[in-house]
Structure 1
Amino acid sequence: MIVVTGASGQLGRLVIEALLQKAPTEEIVAAVRNPRRVDEFLARGVQVRQADYDQPESLAAAFKGADKLLLISSSEVGRRTPQHRAVITAAKAAGVGLLAYTSILHADTSPLPLAAEHKETESLIRASGLPAVILRNSWYTENYLAGIPAALQYGVLLGSAGEGRIASAARADYAEAAAVALTRDNQVGRIYELAGDESYSLDELAQAIARQSGKAVVYRNLPGGEFRGALIDAGLPEGLATLLAESDVGASKGGLFDDSRQLSRLIGRPTTKLAAMISQKLASAA
């Protein structure tokens, strides 16, 4: 039995879809805070169990009988470590045979402040003695493409990444990697540095958007504080604005770059092309 936590989230849903191509439906469990959010999985034969990172008693029931468990990192930055500790403790008590965790690229050396809780979680996993595989994901390409409508409206793509190269990949690529790690033998002890086959600077991203849209778009690099302020002015919550600005600054220091191509090797195909994702985004925004 394979249990996926956070299965109602954007990544979790894609992991379930990928698992449905690789494992018997009756062996897949979607563990979610609100089961009503994944009625479509229940209708397709996937088991659905209530699981809340803040309610340890729910985790014990959700993980019962689990052979493998995917811990998708919590979206609550600043609360991740205690929440992940609860999941790890429950997984240990349930006798889970393999714990997979979605960490961040080069968590042990990353300049991104976001990496701190991932590093702490990896330490908790090691201390637990649970057999584990660590999936260190780089950035989702979708994170940057979300800014395309504003870039087209104002002719400017804002950021704080400088000339740092970003080896992002599609969310679906990372989901497929998780599904492979959960269904392939000999994964215990592996640490994957997962990133896209391509890399780009934000200036190159702006050029690609301009090229495909036929509209003038240039990249404007801002100090981290100014970029954070611009995001807040655009309506983003302060916490998210801080996360994005700090991550961009980390990218300027190489924090989102890796050229080992471990992701494409794991999933057995090239990662999704940036140009194709831009085209899809432009079509959906039209």
Structure 2
Amino acid sequence: MIVVSAASGSLGRLVIDQLLSRVPADRVAVAVRDPAAVADLADRGVGVSRGDYDDPASLRTAFDGAQRLLLISSPVLAPADRIRQHLAAVDAARTVGVGAVAYTSFLGADRGAGGMTEAHHATEQAVLRSGLPWTVLRHPFYSEAFLGASLASAVDSGVLSDPTGGRGLNTAFRSDLAEAAAQVLTGGDQHLGRGYDFTGPLWTYPQLAHSIERVRGTAVVLREESEQAPGAMGWLHGLVRSGALELQTGDLQEVLGHPPTSLDQAVARLVAPAASP
């Protein structure tokens, strides 16, 4: 049995779709806080159990019998709460003796516990201490966080604002990361004991402007944005400008067995060609 925790989110549902293309539905189960939210998965033959990160007993029940467990990180962002939840999940997996656990971590979490990697670092360490066979899947930022609003604005206005100073982004699409997780969960023992640093193909906003032009067949003006956006996006753009998102590895392509989604492919999927006059 393959069990996926926190499976009601965007990544989890994509993982389930990938698993169902590889194995029978009766070999797949989900552990979710609210089983009613995934009634559609039950209709597809997937086993559904209540598995609440704040209720360790429910996790033990949901994980019992799992040959493979995908522990998707909690949506709770406060580090102390997230660490408590994750450690409860790892302890539940150890207590019931799951066959192996794969954890969706974040790039850099193996190198230290500062900032946004604090909870991921603590969880990785707990997985290693558990004695369970393990795989760590370190994710980059999702491409969707950058491309959605940028694409829509550029298509509507013909102007693409570049808040990154032209620096590279190693983001990856959830669909590729979900496929990689499914490969790990169904690929036997070859992935055990591996810590993968997943990155997508490096891309820049100038390249994005050219890609939109190729797909749309209309000109796009690139405008450098000097003022920092408010909130989380401003913080993300600052990271990009510092070069912090330019790390590249071949791990995602290795696990997928094919290149990750390219910028041109992504734009072609997300932006319809301009109508002919």
TM-score by length of 2: 0.87
Aligned twin of 1:170: 173
Aligned twin of 1:209: 212
Cα distance change of structure 1 residues 46 and 56 upon mapping to structure 2, 3 Å threshold: same
The question of 1:220 aligning with 2:224 is answered: yes
Aligned twin of 2:31: 31
Aligned twin of 2:90: 88
In the TM superposition, 1:226-265 aligns within 5 A as 226-227=228-229, 229=230, 241-242=231-232, 244-265=233-254
Of residues 182, 199, 202 in structure 2, which corresponds to 1:199?
202
User: Does the 8 Å CA contact 2:137/2:197 hold for their aligned counterparts?
Assistant: yes
Shift of 1:221: 3.7
**Could you list the runs of 5+ residues in structure 2 that have no partner in the other structure?**
none
User: Does the 8 Å CA contact 1:112/1:250 hold for their aligned counterparts?
Assistant: no
Cα distance change of structure 1 residues 216 and 134 upon mapping to structure 2, 3 Å threshold: same
* Greater RCO, CA 8 A, separation 6+: 1
User: Does the 8 Å CA contact 1:105/1:256 hold for their aligned counterparts?
Assistant: no
Aligned twin of 1:57: 57
User: Does the 8 Å CA contact 1:210/1:217 hold for their aligned counterparts?
Assistant: no
TM-score by length of 1: 0.84
Q: Which amino acid aligns with 1:80?
A: R
Root mean square deviation of aligned Cα: 2.6
Q: Which amino acid aligns with 2:179?
A: E
Structure 2 CA distance, aligned partners of 1:21 and 1:135? 21
Aligned twin of 2:261: 272
Report the secondary structure of 2:85's partner residue.
Answer: helix
Aligned twin of 1:20: 20
Structure 2 CA distance, aligned partners of 1:97 and 1:285? 51
Structure 1 CA distance, aligned partners of 2:133 and 2:273? 42
Q: Percent identity?
A: 39
Structure 2 CA distance, aligned partners of 1:108 and 1:250? 19
User: Does the 8 Å CA contact 2:104/2:139 hold for their aligned counterparts?
Assistant: yes
Cα distance change of structure 1 residues 283 and 262 upon mapping to structure 2, 3 Å threshold: same
Aligned twin of 1:236: none
Q: Deviations over 1:227-275 (max 9, x none)?
A: 1x2xxxxxxxxxxx32x33333223334333332211121111111211
